[in-house]
Amino acid sequence: MKNELKLPFYLAFQSLRRGRKWTLFFTVLLMAVAFINLIFVSALFNGIVEGSNQQIKDTLTGNVYMTPKQGTLYINEASKLLTEIRKVDGVQAASSSFQTPARIEKGTRSGRWPILAIKPDEFFDVINVSENMTHGEYLKNDDENGIILGRQIVGGEGVELNATSLRGVEVGDKVNVVFDGFEKEFIVRGIFYTNFIESDTRAFITEKALAKIMPIAANKATVVNIKSLNKNEEAVFDRVQGIDPSVDTFMWTEAAGLMKSVSSSFLSINVLMTLVAVIIAAVTTFIVIYVDIINRRRQIGILRAIGIRPYIIVLNYVILAAVYATLGVILGSLIFYFGLAPYFQAHPFKLPITDAVLNLKWTEYIARVEIVSWVAVISGLIPALIVTKTKMIDAILGR
C-alpha cells in the first residue's frame, strides 16, 4: 500500500524530469501571471483606500477632531482647550483653526472657498500642508497680509476644478478676499498641492490676520484637530471626549463622507475582479493539464494496461497541478514583491484623492495562495478523471 501511494509522486517526478523544460517554464509562468492577476487588483484597491484614508488624516482632520456643539458657532477659549488636549496620553500634537467662508477675487475671476485662520507653527504639526508647498513658502505666525492657496483654487493645466478656479494665480500676486461685510487684500505667499481635492480647495491665513479683521474670532475656533499614532487613535478619542462638554468629538472617519461610498464600491469591485481572476486561474490550469493529458493518452492507456490503478494516475496529475501552482505562486510572489511593488512605490498611480501604491495585506495574500492551490488541484483533477473513464483500448490507440 505504501509503495502504491509513492507511485503517483514517482510518476509526477518523472513527468517533470523528462518533460520539456521550456514547457514547464511557460506553464509555471502562466500560473504566476494568474496568481499576480489575483493579488494585483486587491493590492491596488487596498492602496487607494488606505491612501485616501491617510490623506483625510494628514490633510483634513487629523486622527480625531472637535467641533462646536450643535447650535453654537465657535469653540471658546481654544488655547485653554488645546493645553488640556496636549496633556492627554497618546496625543502627539493638536491645533485649532477658525474657518470662515469668503469670496476670493483676482481680476475678473472669483469664487467662494473656505478660508482657515491658523497658527502656522502649531498647524503644521497636525496637518501637513506645509510639506506640500509646490510654489512659494508656508505662512509665518506674524504674517498679517499673506495667504496660501490650494491648487484647486489657483487652477492651471491638469487641475480637476480648473473651470471654477482663479485660473493662473502666482506667488506674489495680490488677491482680494471678501468676508461677510468686509474685505481685505492679501499677498499670495505660496501654493500647496496635497493631491486630495477637498483639502486643495481651501486657503489659509494666520490667526493674527483674522483677529485684525474680525476681533470676535480671537481665541476662538471652529475646529480642533488632534494627531496621534493610527494604532492609538481610538484610545485617544475615548480620552479626549470628556475634556470639554461644549464640543462634539469625532473620529476622522466621520469626515470621510464620499470616500466611504468610494471605499465600499472598491470592495464590491474587488470581489468581482477576484472572482474573474479565480476563473482565469482555473481555466489556465485546466487547459495546461488537459493538453498534457491529451498528449499522453497512449502512455496513460499503457499504464492502465500494466495494472496501474486509475486513482494513481489521477493523483499523479493532481500532484502535477499542485507543483505547477506552488511554483507559480513562488514566481508570482517574487515578481510582485521585488518587481511590481517597488516600481509602483517609486511611480504611484496618480489619482485626485491620493498617490496610490500597491498594498497587499498578509491575510489576503494567504487567502489567495489557498485559492490558487485549491483551484489548481480541482482543475487538475477534472481532466484526469475524464481520461481515466476512457476505455483502455481507446486510450492506447489514441482515439
Write out the DSSP string of 314-346.
Answer: HHHHHHHHHHHHHHHHHHHHHHIIIIIHHHHHH
Mean pLDDT by 10 residues, the chain (399 residues): 60 66 80 88 87 90 92 90 94 94 91 94 93 95 94 89 89 92 92 92 95 88 93 92 90 77 75 83 77 70 68 78 88 95 90 85 90 84 73 57
Residues 162 and 46 in one domain: no
Nearest Cα residue to 372 out of 315, 336, 324: 324
In a domain, 32, yes or no: yes
pLDDT, position 397: 55
pLDDT at res. 48 = 87
Locate cell 503644521: which residue?
124
CA distances from 238 to 89, 221, 233 (A): 11, 21, 9
C-alpha to C-alpha distance for 53 and 320, rounded to whole angstroms = 43
Task: Convert 176-208 to b/e letters by CB count within 10 Å (16 or more is b).
Answer: ebeeeeeebebebbbbbbbbbbbbbbbbbbbbb
- Residue 106: inside a domain, yes or no? yes
d(CA 75, CA 56): 22
Report whether 201 contacts 160 (CB < 8 A): no
Task: Say what the pTM is.
Answer: 0.78
Q: CA 260 to CA 305: how far, in whole Å? A: 63
Is the Cβ–Cβ distance between 97 and 116 less than 8 Å?
Answer: yes
Q: Are residues 345 and 382 in the same domain?
A: yes
61 within some domain: no
Whether residue 67 lies inside any domain: the answer is no
Same domain, 141 and 237: yes
Looking at the structure, tell me whether residues 334 and 268 fall in a common domain: yes
One domain for residues 237 and 96 = yes
**Residue that terminates a domain, selected from 182, 215, 245:** 245
Quote the strand ranges of 109-157, DSSP E. 109-118, 133-136, 146-150
Residue ending a domain, among 245, 279, 301, is 245
One domain, residues 373 and 295:
yes
Q: Are residues 237 and 277 in the same domain?
A: no
Same domain, yes or no: 118 and 167: yes
Are 330 and 358 within one domain?
yes
What is the tally of structural domains in the chain? 2
Is 121 inside a domain boundary?
Answer: yes
Check whether residue 234 and residue 315 sit in a common domain. no
Same-domain pairing of 88 and 51: no
| Domain contains 66 | no
51 shares a domain with 27 = yes
Domain edge (last residue) among 245, 277, 303: 245
Residues 6+ apart with CB under 8 A from 231: none
Who contacts 42 (Cβ-Cβ below 8 Å, separation ≥6)?
270, 273, 274, 360, 364, 368
Domain enclosing residue 229, as ranges: 73-245
Q: Note whether residue 266 is domain-resident.
A: yes
